[in-house]
Amino acid sequence: MEAIKELVTNTDWVPLIASWGGKIVLALVIYIIGKWIARRITAFVKKLMTARDADPTLINFLSNVVYAILLVAVILASLDTLGLPVTSLLAVVGAAGLAVGLALKDSLGNFASGVMLVMFRPFVKGDVVEVAGVTGKVNEVRIFSTIMTTPDNKQIIIPNGQVAADTITNYTANDQRRVDLVFGVGYDDDLKVAREVLTRICADHPKVLDDPATSIFVLNLGDSSVDFAVRPWARTEDYWTVWGDILEQGKLELEAAGCNIPYPQTDVHLHAANPLADVLKS
Parse the chain into domains and list their residue ranges.
13-103, 122-170, 176-256
Distance CA 198, CA 247 (A): 10
CB contact at 8 A, 182 and 229: yes
**Fold exhibited by the domain 122-170:** SH3 type barrels. (2.30.30)
DSSP-derived 3-state class of residue 174: coil
Mean pLDDT of the 89-96 span:
61
- Go through 76-96 and write b for each residue having 16 or more CB atoms within 10 A of its CB, e for each that does not: bebbebeeeeeeeeeeeeeee
Instruction: Give pLDDT tens digits for 4-39.
Output: 455 445 555 555 555 566 677 777 888 888 888 888
Mean pLDDT of the 80-105 span:
61
Burial zone of 233 (CB within 10 Å; 0-12 exposed, 13-18 middle, 19+ buried): buried
Instruction: Give pLDDT tens digits for 215-270.
Output: 999 999 988 899 999 999 999 999 999 999 999 999 999 999 998 888 766 666 66
Distance CA 151, CA 128 (A): 9
Residue 98 predicted with pLDDT over 60: no
Residue 185 predicted with pLDDT over 90: yes
Taking the whole predicted model, whether its pTM rises above 0.85 is answered as no
* pLDDT number for residue 229: 96
Phi (first) and psi of residue 149, to 5 degrees: -120, 125
CB contact at 8 A, 78 and 31: yes
**Fold exhibited by the domain 176-256:** Alpha-Beta Plaits (3.30.70)
Distance CA 21, CA 19 (A): 5
CB contact at 8 A, 209 and 225: no
* pLDDT number for residue 227: 94
* pLDDT number for residue 11: 52
Q: Which CATH number, 1.20.1540.10, 3.30.110.60, 1.10.287.1260, 1.10.287.610, labels domain 13-103?
A: 1.10.287.1260
Instruction: Give pLDDT tens digits for 108-165.
Output: 788 788 878 877 888 888 999 999 889 999 998 887 889 999 999 999 999 998 998 8
Name, of 65-69, 87-91, 180-184, the range with top average pLDDT: 180-184
